[in-house]
Structure 1
Amino acid sequence: MGRFPKASSLFLLKFGFSAYDLSSNGLTLLQQRSPVVKGKMVEFAKNLADFAAASGKKDVLVLSSLDFARWRNIDMSSGLQMYYLSSTNTDGTDDHCEQLNWKRLQEYNPDQRGWKYLSTLAEGNATQEDNFPFEDELEEEDYYPSLPFAALFSCFKARGLKVTCLLCYCSEGDNIPDAFHLAEAATKLLGLSPSNFHGNEGGKWLVPFSWNTVYGPPPDMSIF
């Protein structure tokens, strides 16, 4: 944590993990910007799942990016493709998400060893190693179960919560437009009007002030 460098107030702080509450819609939004200590992701996900369950939450929505270099069968004909993973069915599918023309994450296979190991950890039936016990023989299919969203998905699911992950492939650089894309998708899934979450600047989204330190304002185009 630290003082926000662009703040007009000395008491405006930024954190690696922030919480926002929208009581009118019964929503709580958590924004995590800092990494989790290596080897502690599953423990962190378990604690977060316990907190959500103890708070009376029933549905959880995880928004996450994926490495663009890992994207297979790229199709940009209809814009940036949204992928999902849901606990509704054992194969990760969800009828509502399919109706929104989103694609289930192809790399999810509950019978694959990485996903099975993660599920076993989430249910408390194994002791976590620093990494997968088969780290020395990792295969391509072990990549996705090793990601943070996978740990969150497995731990929320193990606590009996309905969890849906919304995922989009992003390149390195300014990913704020990708964040807007995920936010729009979240409102569609929840059946909410995006206008409820817009700021006062011409219908634009009201973004966390901490984002202002990521890339700064756009350049003055008059200099070109």
Structure 2
Amino acid sequence: MFVPVECSPPSFKDFTLIMPAISVGNVGQLATDLIISTLNMPAVGYIHTDCLIPMVGNNPYASSPENSDELSTNAEVYSLADMKLAVLQIRAPIIQTKYKQFRKLIFSWIKASEFSRVVLLSSSYAYQRDDRQIHGTPLRYLFTPAMQTIIGDRLQDLQWKEMERIAAFPGISNSEQRLYIPGGGVTKALYTDSCSEGIPLAVLLTFCSEGDNIPDAFALVNYLNEWLHLVEKPCNVALLWKIPCSWKLLFGSGIPPALF
């Protein structure tokens, strides 16, 4: 259930929704952090659900001591009305027995809010790629039929690579081709459900491994920006995205000097 910050709920009609999948390396969540931080998006509400592991923390996008003590939850919604853009940031894993319930909740909110399109940022294990996926860019996309109708041929100039289907039985060339996204969490299920329910959804993902996934996050958000043009490229590409203050402790607080 969506709970607005203000008394009157915001309108998301014809907005674009961007959200991450809880997937390998947390790449989708890191990329979503960059979008919210760079665009300075205000929080407009949160998703109240028992499908996610409970959590609360300080403001991950604090810009001053005055707003650093604001609380953040496991699923918050940010929005910019002038860009017709909404972002759902998910900060906690989905409880294993409630995957299906979580998908139903998200789809119910998407339909009720009348979003014009949904973009899911995700990732997949690099070590489980097949031979065709090893060469070239690690970035892939998937469009539902409803999204393909909206997009048409406008992405041909970008020369993006669609996520390959692989044989259900490797080595047997005439076996059934299937969509395989290991490490992608609910990515495949959300995509499949969106196809059957006619929701315009795009999946943008990258192959990666666990570790320092900050470069993967930058690659994925740049991939998204090629299409949606969320920010204009400055002369110095390094200044394109604003790193949130919460990333300072991404790998812990460092080694205590007292140990030495």
CA RMSD of aligned residues (A): 3.8
Cα distance in 2 between the residues matched to 1:213 and 1:158 = 41
Counterpart of 2:195 in structure 1 is 157
Q: TM-score, with normalisation over the residues of structure 1?
A: 0.65
Q: TM-score, with normalisation over the residues of structure 2?
A: 0.57
Cα distance in 2 between the residues matched to 1:195 and 1:217 = 33
State the Cα distance separating 1:72 from its structure 2 match.
Answer: 2.3
Residue identity in the other structure for 2:70: L
Instruction: Tell me, yes or no, if the aligned pair for 1:65 and 1:170 is still in contact at 8 Å.
Output: yes
User: Is residue 195 from structure 1 mapped to residue 232 from structure 2 by the alignment?
Assistant: yes
Judged with a 3 Å threshold, the aligned counterparts in structure 2 of structure 1 residues 158 and 11 are, in CA distance, closer, same or farther, namely: farther
Counterpart of 2:143 in structure 1 is 86
Cα distance in 1 between the residues matched to 2:95 and 2:218 = 27
Higher percent of residues as strand: 2
Gaps of at least 5 residues in structure 1 are 113-140, 220-224
Counterpart of 2:111 in structure 1 is 53
1 or 2 for the larger relative contact order (CA 8 Å, sep ≥6)? Answer: 2
Equivalent positions of 1:204-223 (< 5 A) are 204-215=240-251
User: Is residue 3 from structure 1 mapped to residue 61 from structure 2 by the alignment?
Assistant: no
Cα distance in 2 between the residues matched to 1:86 and 1:67 = 20
Cα distance in 1 between the residues matched to 2:187 and 2:196 = 14
State the Cα distance separating 1:181 from its structure 2 match.
Answer: 1.5
Q: Which moved more, 1:162-171 or 1:176-185?
A: 176-185
Q: Which moved more, 1:62-71 or 1:15-24?
A: 15-24
Cα distance in 2 between the residues matched to 1:88 and 1:37 = 30
Judged with a 3 Å threshold, the aligned counterparts in structure 2 of structure 1 residues 82 and 46 are, in CA distance, closer, same or farther, namely: same
Q: Deviations over 1:35-86 (max 9, x none)?
A: 111132222112111101111102111010111111223124xxx4310111
Counterpart of 1:134 in structure 2 is none
